[in-house]
Amino acid sequence: MTPRIPLSAPDITQAEVDAVTRVLETPFLSLGPELQLFEEALAAYHQVPHAVAVSSGTAGLHLALLTLKIGSGDEVIVPSFTFIAVANAVLQVGATPVLVDIDPVTMNMHPAAVEDAITPRTRAMIVVHTFGVPAEMDDLTLIARRHNLLMIEDACEALGATYGSGTATKRVGRFGDLAVFGFYPNKQITTGEGGAVLAHDPAHALRLQSLRNQGRRPDAGWLDHAETGFNYRLPEMACALGRVQLSRIEGILACRQSVAKRYHDLLGKIEGLELPALKLPQRTISWFVFVVRLPQCANRERVQDALAARGIATGRYFAPVHLQPSWKSRQQGADRPLPVTESIARRSLALPFFNHLQPGQQKVVADALQEVLLSAGSAPIA
Ligand SMILES: *Cc1c(COP(=O)(O)O)cnc(C)c1O
């Protein structure tokens, strides 16, 4: 059954439809003018010199690690409280993901946990801006510098978020050696499938362009392959879609901010329910999802079932990496206790959240959640 109120919904206007249709009327369906324009728009928005569009955020993470020559024998520090793609990309290049715990307020890697996890083999950290909340960039940048570590930002959930104050304020994606974005339909902007990597160093940009296109340097002939690469290209239709979406980013972020604010007003009175912070020092949040923490005694599965029966979709953001069946068979890095991650993940519930979620629908969600918590949800966690 399709839920009456879905967890997320893309926001496609006639301008996107027109832009994609226009591409279909040209002879360029891949590696054409839209790719270049989309990359230029992404680079300009972030005030970085280079953006390289790729076929997914996961592909972007994979190429970012390869570009920085991270591989076998290297350790990469990543959060466990995140999307599995982060750890998978590290495994894909033959390196070892070292999972660390998070800060309970920002849900991002705790700088002290990162520092604790550093060994002589540590080469890099992947800093995820979880749920659109910028990570603790001052501390993490210092740690990276002090230990000579590379930094990849995973900004897939945080397009448009900023960190810092006054003139030092920067959009996320400008802090790391490389930064990765993803444009799956539930993200702030979508290209259907897609992603991008931001780079400061022109040599990095060149390598990313080569690796996404079978190891073919941008200036080389079609069958000249300087190295082993991949097909991680993003088609012209997707670039055209992304370009219109990016041009609307300020409106999109404002919409999402109002939806978050309305949830706060509606849910604030439910006893024992913890809400995500609307504001945090040094940061502007780019709202990706709205994740509440259920009361300690609530049974999340029953809450989800009861809401689903009322036509309301919910999600478990996130199921920690180290608790996944795919991870449990591995030895690497799973030996570190992650108490904050585990206790938060068990209680997390993502509510329906998208640009045009209506106040009436939010009221339905809030009333249903309150009612469900009073009855079905109050059995202890199994
Ligand atoms: C969405 C997301 C990605 C990228 O996902 P794709 O589906 O491959 O585009 C990567 N990391 C995080 C944290 C994400 O949320």
Q: Which atom of ligand 1 is nearest to the CA of 183?
A: 9
pLDDT digits (tens, 9 = 90+) for 268-295: 999 999 999 999 999 999 999 999 999 9
pLDDT digits (tens, 9 = 90+) for 358-379: 999 999 999 999 999 998 655 5
**Ligand 1 centroid, distance to 182 Cα (angstroms):** 5
**Ligand 1 centroid, distance to 203 Cα (angstroms):** 25
Q: Where in the chain is the domain with CATH 3.40.640.10?
A: 14-99+108-247
State how far Cα 125 lies from the chain centre. 15
**Ligand 1 centroid, distance to 317 Cα (angstroms):** 13
Pocket flag, ligand 1, residue 60 (CB < 6 Å): no
**Ligand 1 centroid, distance to 29 Cα (angstroms):** 24
d(Cα 316, Cα 32) in Å, to the nearest integer?
A: 39
Q: Where in the chain is the domain with CATH 3.90.1150.10?
A: 249-375
Percent of the chain with pLDDT over 90: 91
Residue 377 pLDDT: 56
Nearest to 10 by CA among 237, 186, 183, 253: 186
d(Cα 41, Cα 312) in Å, to the nearest integer?
A: 36
Cα distances (Å, whole numbers) of residue 134 to 97, 199, 246, 277: 21, 19, 19, 12
Pocket flag, ligand 1, residue 157 (CB < 6 Å): yes
User: Tokens in use for 60?
Assistant: 């972007």
d(Cα 274, Cα 266) in Å, to the nearest integer?
A: 13
- The 3-state secondary structure of the chain reads CCCCECCCCCCCCHHHHHHHHHHHCCCCCCCCHHHHHHHHHHHHHHCCCEEEEECCHHHHHHHHHHHCCCCCCCEEEEECCCCCHHHHHHHHCCCEEEEECECCCCCCECHHHHHHHCCCCEEEEEEECHHHCCCCHHHHHHHHHHCCCEEEEECCCCCCCEECCHHHCEECCCCCCEEEEECCCCCCCCCCCCEEEEECCHHHHHHHHHHCECCCCCCCCCCCCCCCCCECCCCHHHHHHHHHHHHCHHHHHHHHHHHHHHHHHHHCCCCCCECCCCCECCEECCCCCEEEECCCCCCHHHHHHHHHHCCECCECCCCCHHHCHHHHCCCCCCCCCCHHHHHHHHHEEEECCCCCCCHHHHHHHHHHHHHHHHCHHHCCCC
Number of other residues whose CB lies within 10 A of the CB of residue 359:
12
Pocket flag, ligand 1, residue 97 (CB < 6 Å): no
Mutate to test the pocket of ligand 1, among 62, 109, 157 (most ligand atoms within 8 A of CB): 157
Pocket flag, ligand 1, residue 377 (CB < 6 Å): no
Residue 58 pLDDT: 98
Ligand 1, atom 13: closest residue by C-alpha: 83
Pocket flag, ligand 1, residue 184 (CB < 6 Å): yes
CB 324 within 8 A of CB 84: yes
Q: Which residue has the tokens 């894909």?
A: 92
Domain spanning 14-99+108-247, CATH class: alpha beta
d(Cα 194, Cα 191) in Å, to the nearest integer?
A: 6
Is the model's pTM score more than 0.85? yes
Nearest to 376 by CA among 275, 306, 274, 286: 306
Residue 1 pLDDT: 60
Pocket flag, ligand 1, residue 353 (CB < 6 Å): no
Pocket flag, ligand 1, residue 179 (CB < 6 Å): no
**Ligand 1 centroid, distance to 42 Cα (angstroms):** 17
- The 3-state secondary structure of 75-102 reads EEEEECCCCCHHHHHHHHCCCEEEEECE
The CATH code belonging to domain 249-375 is 3.90.1150.10
End-to-end CA distance of the chain: 27
For the chain (length 382 residues), average pLDDT per consecutive 10? 88 98 98 98 98 98 98 98 97 96 97 98 98 98 98 98 96 98 98 98 98 92 90 98 98 98 97 96 98 95 97 95 84 73 97 98 98 74 46
User: What angle in degrees, to the nearest 10, is found between the helix axes of 202-211 and 57-67?
Assistant: 120
Pocket flag, ligand 1, residue 86 (CB < 6 Å): yes
**Ligand 1 centroid, distance to 58 Cα (angstroms):** 6
